């Protein structure tokens, strides 16, 4: 039998709570030769793909999941207020589609709905203590209200009915996630390299201390000069993470894998106040912040977990096509990072992040002093007279630009020696210079 060209998945009824060790896996998902072959339990991987009007990209994203060496068990596109053909394309590709109802909190709100309505409870066979059962009940009952509650009731009624309209059993054990199930959250504008899921699952299952495994990314083609500069930037970031053996400051929102148990613990921590409450209903993602992925990393670290971006977890992601779009993206990232630090205060986790903010601020000051000295020299003498100190700074900058872009090849290294990227660095420093007063003065957020 040949594999289907669409994204195959196990139906909820194919995996029962009473069969935790062995189950029969869909043929297309693993390429088995014969039907009904019992195999050792593979990790049950649910992929959530939040998408808002991603009709141009969603097919490529789902194709990347189909090519994984470890095939996902379920792929759920979380369609948030889509006005294009995202939903139709996703269904045609074989993915499940979860459409949000009444969501105004963008990606964070969409993912919270998907988790609370479809993946929140533990299967009966996996409920090991009364305390967790009580926490689950509190979270489920408090998460959705109004139109979202009515949507939940409709979906629950639909789930209890079979294809002929007959009501299904309430206790299939799925789609509720067991503690050792894995959840990957992937942006719809990203495409995973084929070993991503297998690499992430291997790391998560091997180390209970890991709260999340993310990836390093390359930029998609296109975007002209601004796209080229972003690809250089991403290559440098990937090099830094690789040299640190996967240690990273933030688990990227482009793609990150978690244990279901970790997500439940985050939800419980939001309810009992150990980390910021977010939406106040136990939502995994904080809907009150600009950078929900950065805040989620803080929450994971404050609960005693570690985060990792291993070398085998790589992907491509969208680059901003214009300077205006890049300005808006980076302003949101920078201001969000500052506000997350303020939100958590100075703790055993955040002091390093505060240090980076201070270094960034110092970088802004140095950049403006450097440019100011050049301008002053030009105005006073009619030509640029570079002081030895600034000449040394320039030399260090050139060497750093050349060495750190080596992954992109010798042509990019030669080009970097011309200092043409100085424009990009000044641009980013201007973004930072605006982000600090915006955060301090609590100016209106726009995203």
Q: What is the pLDDT of residues 345-356, one digit of tens each?
A: 999 999 999 999
- Contact between residue 49 and residue 186 where contact means Cβ atoms under 8 Å apart: yes
Nearest to 50 by CA among 102, 139, 113, 121: 113
pLDDT tens-digit readout, 183-214? 999 999 999 999 999 999 999 999 999 999 99
> N- to C-terminal Cα distance for the chain?
48
Domain ranges of the chain: 40-321, 351-440
pLDDT tens-digit readout, 412-443? 888 888 888 888 999 999 999 999 999 999 88
pLDDT tens-digit readout, 220-259? 999 999 999 999 999 999 999 999 999 999 999 999 999 9
pLDDT value at position 174?
47
* Residue 166 pLDDT level (bands cut at 50, 70, 90): very low
Neighbouring CB atoms inside 10 A of 374's CB total 15
Instruction: Quickly tell me which residue has 């240090």 as its tokens.
Output: 355
Angle subtended by helix axes 106-118 and 130-143, to nearest 10: 130
Cross-strand pairs, 213? 257, 308
pLDDT tens-digit readout, 263-317? 999 999 999 999 999 999 999 999 999 999 999 999 999 999 999 999 999 999 9
Neighbouring CB atoms inside 10 A of 424's CB total 18
- Contact between residue 274 and residue 257 where contact means Cβ atoms under 8 Å apart: no
- Per-residue tokens: 145: 């209200």
- Per-residue tokens: 208: 């209970």
**In b/e form, how buried is each residue of 219-234, taking b as 16+ CB within 10 angstroms?**
bbeebeebbbbbbbbb
Is the confidence at residue 169, as pLDDT, over 50? Answer: no
**Helix %, strand %, coil % for the chain, to 5?**
50, 10, 40
Beta strand extents in 275-400 (DSSP E only): 306-308, 314-317
In whole angstroms, what is the distance from residue 338 CA to residue 356 CA?
10
* Residue 177 pLDDT level (bands cut at 50, 70, 90): confident
CATH number of 40-321: 3.90.550.10
* Confidence (pTM): 0.78
- Contact between residue 188 and residue 58 where contact means Cβ atoms under 8 Å apart: yes
3-state secondary structure of 212: strand
Nearest to 113 by CA among 76, 58, 59: 76
Instruction: Quickly tell me which residue has 């007063």 as its tokens.
Output: 437
- Contact between residue 294 and residue 398 where contact means Cβ atoms under 8 Å apart: no
């Amino acid at each position: 039998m040949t594999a289907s060209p669409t994204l195959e998945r196990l139906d909820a009824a194919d995996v029962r709570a009473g069969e935790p060790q062995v189950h029969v896996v869909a043929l297309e998902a693993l390429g088995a030769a014969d039907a009904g072959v019992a195999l050792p339990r593979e990790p049950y991987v649910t992929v959530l793909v939040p998408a808002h009007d991603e009709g141009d990209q969603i097919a490529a994203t789902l194709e990347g999941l189909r090519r994984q060496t470890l095939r996902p068990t379920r792929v759920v596109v979380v369609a948030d207020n889509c006005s294009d053909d995202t939903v139709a394309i996703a269904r045609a590709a074989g993915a499940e589609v979860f459409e949000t109802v009444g969501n105004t909190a963008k990606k964070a709100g969409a993912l919270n709905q998907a988790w609370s309505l479809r993946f929140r409870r533990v299967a009966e066979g996996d409920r090991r203590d009364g305390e967790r059962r009580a926490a689950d009940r509190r979270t489920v009952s408090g998460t959705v209200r109004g139109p979202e509650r009515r949507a939940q009731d409709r979906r629950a009624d639909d789930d209890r009915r079979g294809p002929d309209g007959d009501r299904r059993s309430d206790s299939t054990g799925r789609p509720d996630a067991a503690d050792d199930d894995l959840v990957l959250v992937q942006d719809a504008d990203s495409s995973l390299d084929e070993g991503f899921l297998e690499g992430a699952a291997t790391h998560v299952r091997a180390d209970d201390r890991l709260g999340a495994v993310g990836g390093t990314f390359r930029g998609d083609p296109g975007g002209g000069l601004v796209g080229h500069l972003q690809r250089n930037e991403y290559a440098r970031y990937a090099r830094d993470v690789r040299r640190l053996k996967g240690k990273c400051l933030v688990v990227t929102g482009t793609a990150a894998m978690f244990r279901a148990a970790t997500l439940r613990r985050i939800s419980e921590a939001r309810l009992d106040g150990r980390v910021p409450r977010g939406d106040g209903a136990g939502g995994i993602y904080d809907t009150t912040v600009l950078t929900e992925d950065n805040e989620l990393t803080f929450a994971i670290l404050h609960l005693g977990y570690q985060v990792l971006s291993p070398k085998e977890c790589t992907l491509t992601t969208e680059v901003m096509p214009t300077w205006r779009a890049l300005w808006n993206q980076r302003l949101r990232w920078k201001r969000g990072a500052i506000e997350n630090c303020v939100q958590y205060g100075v703790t055993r986790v955040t002091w390093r992040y505060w240090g980076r903010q201070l270094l960034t601020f110092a970088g802004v000051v140095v950049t403006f002093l450097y440019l100011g000295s050049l301008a002053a020299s030009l105005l006073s003498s009619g030509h640029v007279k570079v002081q030895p100190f600034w000449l040394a700074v320039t030399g260090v900058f050139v060497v750093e630009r050349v060495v750190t872009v080596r992954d992109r090849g010798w042509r990019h290294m030669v080009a970097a020696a011309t200092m043409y990227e100085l424009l990009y660095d000044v641009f980013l420093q201007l973004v930072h210079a605006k982000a600090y007063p915006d955060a301090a003065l609590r100016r209106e957020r726009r995203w």
